[in-house]
Amino acid sequence: MARAKSHERGQALDAFIEAMPKVELHLHIEGTLEPESVFRFARRNGLSLDFDSVEALRRAYEFQNLQSFLDLYNATMGVLCTEEDFYDLTWDYLARVARQNVVHTEIFFDPQGHTCRGIPFASVVGGITRALAAGQQRFGISSRLILCFWRHLSEAEALATWEQAQPHLGCFAAVGLDSSEVGNPPEKFRRVYAKARAAGLKAVAHAGEEGGPDYIWGALDALGVERIDHGVRCLEDGQLVERLVREEIPLTVCPLSNVRLRVVKNLGSHSLSRMLALGLRVCVNSDDPAYFGGYITENFLAVRKALELVPAQVLTLGRNAIDASFLDADEKTVLHERLEAVAAEHGFGLGE
């Protein structure tokens, strides 16, 4: 009897997760490149691939660590060549997550992965921003775009990318930092981040995924970031946890990514519940969903089941994402009201 009731509660919570209006803050648009799309863009652009079928490519989406993922990620993005490719890639993501009730998304893109291949910066930004505008009109999904620097390259190359971005600064809400973490500390990019902040952009950075707590400290102190992407290794440093809680620094956690890249052994051992209990401002995101086995709803459902999350925890995750977004206060209020209305419809009240 108890098991049956637990199963029913789980089903009810899953129904709420599927229906809840969601905010996603950690999403690489190049990481939404599904194997079928890789072949579609390759055919469109007359490119050959190292894989003879969609199935063979999908089998390659098994990774030993962050670097093995990045090697494939950097190779497959080579099929993106024209503004229309970037439009279609972004539109495909928005159409998919509209069905998952995503209402706001803050999207990373990696210009250096394209300009190094001779793709004009304007083609990349033009395709993405046109799709985001169309997605707002068609699906009602609001968005912000975040320009990421590749940390395995030099700061001089990041500064060159910053100069290329100047005609398009109005398209961006923030700058970010991604790619290989270990050996590429945040301090390496102090000057380019100072330029971005002086220009009025917000700042985020990947830290505490592959690298330890010192990378999070560096992102906060050297780069002045307002949000940490990943950050799961903060738990190794009690003083850091205290600071993140005190300063209400959001952490954009990506559970399925953490498993696929072997940051954690399995979802059952993920630290998300502990992070919530400590008062950290964590939220759930999908990272590179085409490569890691699920978009935002799949991430929510997977951690709900593996960690036996209760309604209060799921609601906190949803509320945290709204609060951590770069929306203005009025927009956040509207999304909070939408979330609470759906929660009430599913029997989960404000006290949950």
Predicted confidence (pLDDT) per residue in 169-202, tens digit: 999 999 999 999 999 999 999 999 999 999 999 9
Confidence check: pLDDT of 346 > 60 = yes
Mean pLDDT of 55-67: 88
Give the Cα separation of 78 and 116 in Å (integer). Answer: 10
Residue 66: the pLDDT is: 85
Q: Are 295 and 260 in contact (CB under 8 A)?
A: no
| Residue numbers belonging to the annotated binding site | 26, 28, 206, 287-288
Q: What is the pLDDT of residue 350?
A: 57
**Is the predicted pLDDT of residue 1 greater than 60, yes or no?**
no
Each residue of 131-154: pLDDT tens digit?
999 999 999 999 999 999 999 999
Query: In whole numbers, what is the pLDDT of the chain averaged over residues?
Result: 95
Q: Which residue has the tokens 């609601």?
A: 315
Mean per-residue pLDDT for 116-143?
98
Question: Which tokens in the block code for residue 34?
Answer: 């599904």
Global pTM? Answer: 0.96
The whole-number pLDDT of residue 229 equals 98
According to the model, what pLDDT value does residue 65 have? 85
Residue 55 annotated among the catalytic residues of the structure: no
List, in order of start, the domains of the chain with CATH numbers.
2-345 (3.20.20.140)
The single residue listed with the structure tokens 């930004």 is 125
Look up residue 279 and give its DSSP letter. Answer: T
Spatial separation of the C-alpha atoms in residues 26 and 107, rounded to whole Å:
7
Q: How do residues 231-244 score in pLDDT, each as one tens digit?
A: 999 999 999 999 99
Dump pLDDT digits (tens) for 3-22: 656 667 789 999 999 999 99
Phi first, then psi: give them for residue 110, nearest 5 degrees. Answer: -115, 85
Residue 2: is its pLDDT beyond 90? no
Res 230 pLDDT > 80 = yes
The residue type at 338: R
Give the model's pLDDT for residue 8. 75
One of 83, 181, 209, 226 is an active-site residue; which one? Answer: 209
The yes-or-no verdict on residue 102 having pLDDT over 80 is yes
Note whether 272 and 255 are within 8 A (CB).
yes
CA dihedral 313, 315, 319, 321 (to 10 degrees): 70
Instruction: Specify the pLDDT at position 194.
Output: 98
CB environment 242-260: b (16+ within 10 A), e (fewer): eebeeeebbbbbbbbbbbb
Q: Residue 49: which of 69, 8, 79 has the closest Cα?
A: 79
- Annotated binding-site residues for Zn(2+) read 26, 28, 206, 287
Q: How far apart are CA 227 and CA 206, in angstroms?
A: 9
Which positions make up the binding site for substrate?
A: 288
Q: Which residues pair with 149 in a beta bridge?
A: 177
Give the span between the Cα atoms of 287 and 295, in whole angstroms: 8
CB 70 within 8 A of CB 179: yes
- What is the pLDDT at residue 64? 81
At residue 9, the pLDDT reads 79
Q: Exposed, middle or buried, 41 (CB in 10 Å: 0-12/13-18/19+)?
A: buried
pLDDT tens-digit readout, 302-321: 999 999 999 999 999 999 99
